[in-house]
Amino acid sequence: MRHVLVVGASLAGVRVAENLRSLGFDGRLSLIGAEQHLPYDRPPLSKELLTGSLDPDAVVFHERAWFADHDIDLRLGERAVHLDPQRRTLQTTEGTLEYDELVVATGARARNPFPQAPRGVCTLRTLDDAEAFRAALTAAAHLVVIGGGFIGLEVASSARALGKDVTVVEVADTPLVRSLGVETAPAVADLARNHGIRLLCGRSVTALGGTGSVESVRLDNGEDIDCDLVLLGVGAVPNTEWLDGAGLEITSAGIVCDPTGRAGEHLWAAGDVCSWRDTVGVAHRHEHWTSAAEQATLVAHNLLGDDSRTLTSAPYVWSDQFGRRINLIGTTTGYDAVRVLGHDVSDLVALYARHGLLVGACVVDQASLMLKCRRWVAERTPVTAIPAWDLARV
């Protein structure tokens, strides 16, 4: 194997390159990124970068010299255009590259249901997005966040920390109910309300008002809400268009991989651009930082010949908002039993079970307990084997 080509300078793409070098691969290694920026970490974009506690330079994974020192051909501002798996060539905006193995790590982009929106209607997915939104937020008085998911609530938290008036419009009856369930989501909603967020649930936005710049949003009940800034937090779309015609299995959840990360002959994928089939053949897309990092590590190992490795850890995502860390572990949908512990969101724990086995958990703060829950979920621990909580919390 002479040339490994990693398409996408995302977390997953950088982790693949890091692992290949640390595992001893000494062949040609190229990393292509569509953005001009050095590869950077995305979680701070909705939090520390917005509040000003971090500068943009602080979110990059490595300085440019690191890539040169590790003999990685870093090609920024270069976008993938077309893949020919038979010839093993990739056409980019800068030319054509040949490869022996190719890793797809092109991530996803923010979904925008209002492409013709006036100024002041923003998405938050890239560093450029974050810097533009931060500048707009500084001058704004009233922010409306469309979508009460993790990104929407994190941005709402950051905006409140800056003293802004914030309204969150969520189509579901409770924010995060699809992720946390009806038993747990209300506690997180109360956390937002207690920090001054106006939550409008069971409502959707049908139109945006304003000539030149946004001035209002119209709800499906006809109500208009005055505002001078809007953040769209309504999901993401995998960046797979450049793979059209390549003969790969691609769904709305992205490129489909087997449990080892293989997407085709000499083709692999990791991160937000893909879904991985589990050991029984069901494809799952986990749009989480930890999943992207773990998939990338696994792909690097399998690409170098240990092609039987599969993921064994439980999926994990966290969200920092309103002074709390909400940890979500495993599967928290499709459960048949849930046990909620804790007096309020400050010590909240929810255990999600299916057929008597622990399949998911939500833990607010309590880092040691979160780690225990992740192990229990990964091992499909019987609920009856979980220790009493006064011991488990120790």
Q: How many domains does the chain have?
A: 3
Where residue 46 sits, what CATH number does that domain have?
Answer: 3.50.50.60
Residues 133 and 168 in one domain: yes
Q: Show the domain range for 219.
A: 112-232
Residues 116 and 225 in one domain: yes
Question: CB neighbours of 211 closer than 8 A, spacing ≥ 6?
Answer: 118
Residues 228 and 116 in one domain: yes
Average pLDDT per block of 10 residues along the chain, 394 residues long: 93 98 96 97 94 92 97 98 97 97 97 93 96 95 96 96 97 92 90 96 96 95 97 96 94 93 95 86 85 95 85 87 93 86 78 92 90 91 79 50
Residues 52 and 69 in one domain: yes
For residues 299 and 296, what is the distance between their CA atoms, to the nearest angstrom?
A: 5
For residues 277 and 102, what is the distance between their CA atoms, to the nearest angstrom?
A: 19
> Residue 119 falls within a domain, yes or no?
yes
Residues 165 and 211 in one domain: yes
Last residue of a domain, one of 215, 232, 249: 232
| CA neighbor of 192 nearest in space, from 201, 183, 203 | 201
Residue 334 confidence (pLDDT): 82
Tokens of 385: 């084997």
* DSSP H stretches of helix in the chain: 11-22, 48-51, 64-69, 127-139, 150-161, 177-180, 185-194, 289-303, 367-378, 389-392
> Residue 348 falls within a domain, yes or no?
yes
For residues 195 and 240, what is the distance between their CA atoms, to the nearest angstrom?
A: 39
> Residue 313 falls within a domain, yes or no?
no
Tokens of 294: 């773990």
Residue 313 confidence (pLDDT): 79
Residues 57 and 34 in one domain: yes
Residues 204 and 257 in one domain: no
Separation of first and last alpha carbons in the chain: 49
What's the whole-model pTM score?
0.92
Indicate the length of the chain as a whole number: 394
Give the HSE-up count for residue 81: Cα atoms under 13 Å, Cβ half-sphere. 9
The answer to whether the Cα torsion of 84, 88, 91, 92 is positive or negative is: positive
